[in-house]
């Protein structure tokens, strides 16, 4: 049975209610302590008023000592309740933010299971800033309640002195909140739009950095920079708008709070002058008028933070409520892992049909590069089975019936543009640290010269996206990682386009040797890899038009010879 915490949230409101529900204990404790803090703060001017009142009637050292002791108790209560109350709330806030970051990141890292129409830069912003702002609701609610406690205590104390003072505080507080509620809604809308534009700018610059070298190659960098500048400018304009609204909100709140405090002070002074309240009650009223500005400010700011938390939660819901790309099955492939493509029609593929037996090394020469990319996407399960015709079977089981974990366990598709991560050569080749094939993979991918260049060897530091490696070195590093995984089925998409012919020849032989007995599919036009394969499938116009060894095809098929000969 699915528990409420593991169900997919349907909206931002669901996310907020989930966060509040699973932190109810921490919030209750934090609310109690913060309520004691606010009550103690409110009690301080009340105590001062009473001390003045009684001291004027009973001028003795005993009364003075008792007054000092009472003030010490109040100050101690205020200090400790704030310290431990905020510790509880901030711990719960941080923990909850971490939970949502992990949840959003899990969705962002599972493109197979989720269809999120957001770029990685936007998902990153949602997983960081929006997760933090959503979790702020855990602090906002207790602070809101504790501020209300302070206002109520102050209103009751003033009302006991004179009913008009108590009513003034209550009516003034309601009026202030009514005025600020309008601005808080504007803040929520503006903040949501700002976060979206900042995220788009982050995604744009991430794409720009990724494609900087090719952009320089064909002179498109200036157009790309202009495009980013436009997106960044939009984000800046929206940020200025949000800042203006926030400034107007803060200024209005401060002005209204000051007006209310001034009104309470003047009214108390008039009542004291008229003899309707005592000097001690006047001291209490003036003290409360000054103190009440802090909880009123906090109380009036809470709706703004609630709207910001809701806006962030709605953005998280974009990721967390995205419909599944596919409903994964629960079956596993048979031990003999072969691959069968049965009349698949998708993109440029037209009823593509072939079979790769278990342990076979097959190269696919696609005359149209897009066909190779479409086939790689299908085998990587980046394309849901329901969006293409035909059937893909792995180990005798339909791909649609396999669990995502089973596919990942038995099939590895290494794209031509595989990412290189910041770390070391070793951590890029064996991210999990469990592979026993690292030395063989390094040798087979001809990465040995890169390792030998550096004194650190495999522990040589690699920058983000492999910025300190050449294109050929990055490609060989990616190939080494794929080989080190030692998957039952390995699909390589153009693994040697950035290396020289001699190195390519050596890599082809090494891969064929290392993968002997393991199912291997290489999508390539490289003569070296084609020659190393057990057989070659020629794909033209989305179908298999020829099948033989590379050398036989060179001798008998003129079109093939023109397509792959270098």
Looking at 126-130, 198-202, 209-213, which range is the least confident one? 209-213
Q: pLDDT over 90 for what percent of the chain? A: 34
Reported confidence tier of residue 357, pLDDT bands at 50, 70, 90: very high
* Beta-carbon-side half-sphere exposure of residue 93 (alpha carbons within 13 Å): 20
Residue 112 pLDDT more than 50? Answer: no
Cα angle: 404, vertex 407, 413; to 5 degrees: 115
pLDDT tens figures, 338-347: 999 999 999 9
Residue 4 pLDDT more than 50? Answer: no
Residue 553 pLDDT more than 90? Answer: yes
**Cα–Cα distance between 462 and 425 in angstroms, integer?**
6
User: Which among 154, 165, 153, 152 is positioned nearest to 277, based on CA atoms?
Assistant: 165
**Cα–Cα distance between 394 and 358 in angstroms, integer?**
10
**Cα–Cα distance between 111 and 100 in angstroms, integer?**
18
Q: State residue 98's pLDDT score.
A: 93
| Tokens 């897009």 sit on residue | 370
Q: Between these two residues, 481 and 199, which has the higher pLDDT value?
A: 481
Looking at 240-249, 312-321, 399-408, 480-489, which range is the least confident one? 240-249
Q: State residue 422's pLDDT score.
A: 87
Reported confidence tier of residue 2, pLDDT bands at 50, 70, 90: very low
Looking at 278-292, 335-349, 382-396, which range is the least confident one? 278-292
The mean pLDDT value of the chain amounts to 82
Residue 3 pLDDT more than 50? Answer: no
**Cα–Cα distance between 125 and 134 in angstroms, integer?**
13
* Beta-carbon-side half-sphere exposure of residue 132 (alpha carbons within 13 Å): 5
Residue 221 pLDDT more than 80? Answer: no
pLDDT tens figures, 55-69: 666 666 666 677 778
Looking at 110-124, 293-307, 415-429, which range is the least confident one? 110-124
User: Which among 129, 17, 149, 19 is positioned nearest to 85, based on CA atoms?
Assistant: 149
Neighbours of 246 (CB within 10 A): 17
Q: State residue 209's pLDDT score.
A: 52
Q: Between these two residues, 396 and 6, which has the higher pLDDT value?
A: 396
| Tokens 């974009």 sit on residue | 318
Q: State residue 186's pLDDT score.
A: 63
| Tokens linked to 315 | 């953005």
| Tokens linked to 358 | 């278990």
Going along the chain from its start, the domains and CATH numbers come out as 12-320 (1.20.1560.10), 339-564 (3.40.50.300)
């Amino acid at each position: 049975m699915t528990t409420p915490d593991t169900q997919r949230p349907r909206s931002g409101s669901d996310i907020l209610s989930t966060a509040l529900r699973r932190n109810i204990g921490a919030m209750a404790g934090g609310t109690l302590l913060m309520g004691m803090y606010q009550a103690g703060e409110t009690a301080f001017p009340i105590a001062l008023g009473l001390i003045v009142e009684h001291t004027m009637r009973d001028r003795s050292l005993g009364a003075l000592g008792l007054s000092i002791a009472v003030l010490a108790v109040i100050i101690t209560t205020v200090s400790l309740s704030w310290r431990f109350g905020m510790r509880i709330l901030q711990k719960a806030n941080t923990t909850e933010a971490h939970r949502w970051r992990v949840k959003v990141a899990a969705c962002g890292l599972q493109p197979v299971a989720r269809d999120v129409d957001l770029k990685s830069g936007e998902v990153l912003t949602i997983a960081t800033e929006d997760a933090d702002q959503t979790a702020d609701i855990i602090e906002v609610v207790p602070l809101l309640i504790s501020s209300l406690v302070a206002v109520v205590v102050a209103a009751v104390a003033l009302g006991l002195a004179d009913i008009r003072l108590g009513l003034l505080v209550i009516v003034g507080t309601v009026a202030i909140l009514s005025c600020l509620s309008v601005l808080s809604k504007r803040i929520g809308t503006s903040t949501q739009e700002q976060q979206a534009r900042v995220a788009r700018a982050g995604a744009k610059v991430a794409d720009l950095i990724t494609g900087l070298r090719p952009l320089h190659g064909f002179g498109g960098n200036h157009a790309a920079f202009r495009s980013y500048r436009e997106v960044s400018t939009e984000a800046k304009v929206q940020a200025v708008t949000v800042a203006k609204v926030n400034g107007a909100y803060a200024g209005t709140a401060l002005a209204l709070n000051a007006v209310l405090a001034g009104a309470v002070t003047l009214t108390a002074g008039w009542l004291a002058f008229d003899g309707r309240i005592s000097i001690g009650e006047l001291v209490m009223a003036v003290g409360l008028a000054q103190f009440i500005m802090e909880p009123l400010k906090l109380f009036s700011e809470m709706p703004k933070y609630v709207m910001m938390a809701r806006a962030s939660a709605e953005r998280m819901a974009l990721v967390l409520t995205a419909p599944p790309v596919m409903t994964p099955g629960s079956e596993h492939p048979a031990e003999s892992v072969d691959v069968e493509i049965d009349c698949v029609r998708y993109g440029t593929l037209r009823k593509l049909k072939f079979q790769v037996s278990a342990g076979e090394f097959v190269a696919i020469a696609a005359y149209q590069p897009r066909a190779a990319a479409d086939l790689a996407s299908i085998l990587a399960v980046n394309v849901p089975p329901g969006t293409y015709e035909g059937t893909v079977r792995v180990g005798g089981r339909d791909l649609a019936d396999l669990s995502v974990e089973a596919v990942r366990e038995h099939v590895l598709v290494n794209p031509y543009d595989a990412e290189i991560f910041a770390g070391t050569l070793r951590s890029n080749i064996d991210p999990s640290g469990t592979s026993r094939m690292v030395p063989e993979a390094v040798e087979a991918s001809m990465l040995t010269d890169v390792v030998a260049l550096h004194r650190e060897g495999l522990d040589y530091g690699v920058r983000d996206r492999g910025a300190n490696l050449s294109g050929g070195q990055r490609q060989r590093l990616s190939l080494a990682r794929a080989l080190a995984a030692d998957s039952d089925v390995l699909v390589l998409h153009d693994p040697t386009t950035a290396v020289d012919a001699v190195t390519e020849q050596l890599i082809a032989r090494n891969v064929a040797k290392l993968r002997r007995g393991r199912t291997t599919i290489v999508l390539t036009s490289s003569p070296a890899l084609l020659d190393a394969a057990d057989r070659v499938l020629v794909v033209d116009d989305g179908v298999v038009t020829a099948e033989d060894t590379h050398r036989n095809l060179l001798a008998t098929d003129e079109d093939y010879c023109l397509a792959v000969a270098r």
